[in-house]
């Protein structure tokens, strides 16, 4: 089985972004989440999750307007993704 470059990028960027988040390096996490948003724009579930992750970064940075904007974007891609409003 051969993985496409895109799937490898998603795997690497996601893991790195999540590691940055866990370390409290939110700016670095947001940078990588933004890269991920450019990779798979047709996958609504993926887009919703990434915007939710960005929103949590912004929330932790007390950038609440940015967090709210990304929560709204997350819900635009998946209105049933309730995790985004429970954080």
Between CA 77 and CA 45 the distance in angstroms is 7
- What is the model's pLDDT at position 87? 58
Q: Could you give the C-alpha distances from 62 to 22, 57, 68, in angstroms and in order?
A: 16, 9, 11
Q: List the domain boundaries for the chain.
A: 5-80
Give the closest residue to 30 by CA, choosing from 78, 63, 79.
63
| Assigned CATH class of 5-80 | mainly alpha
Between CA 60 and CA 54 the distance in angstroms is 10
pLDDT by residue (tens digit) across 6-60? 888 899 999 999 999 999 999 999 999 999 999 888 899 999 999 999 999 999 9
Give the closest residue to 32 by CA, choosing from 7, 15, 49.
15
Based on C-alpha coordinates, what's the Rg of the chain? 13
């Amino acid at each position: 089985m051969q993985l496409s470059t895109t799937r490898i990028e998603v795997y690497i960027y996601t893991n790195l972004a999540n590691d940055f988040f866990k370390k409290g390096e939110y700016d670095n996490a947001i940078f990588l989440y933004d890269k991920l948003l450019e990779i798979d724009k047709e996958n609504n579930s993926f887009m919703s999750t990434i915007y939710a992750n960005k929103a949590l970064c912004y929330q932790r940075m007390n950038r609440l307007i940015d967090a709210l904007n990304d929560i709204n974007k997350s819900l635009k891609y998946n209105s049933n993704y309730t995790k985004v409003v429970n954080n």
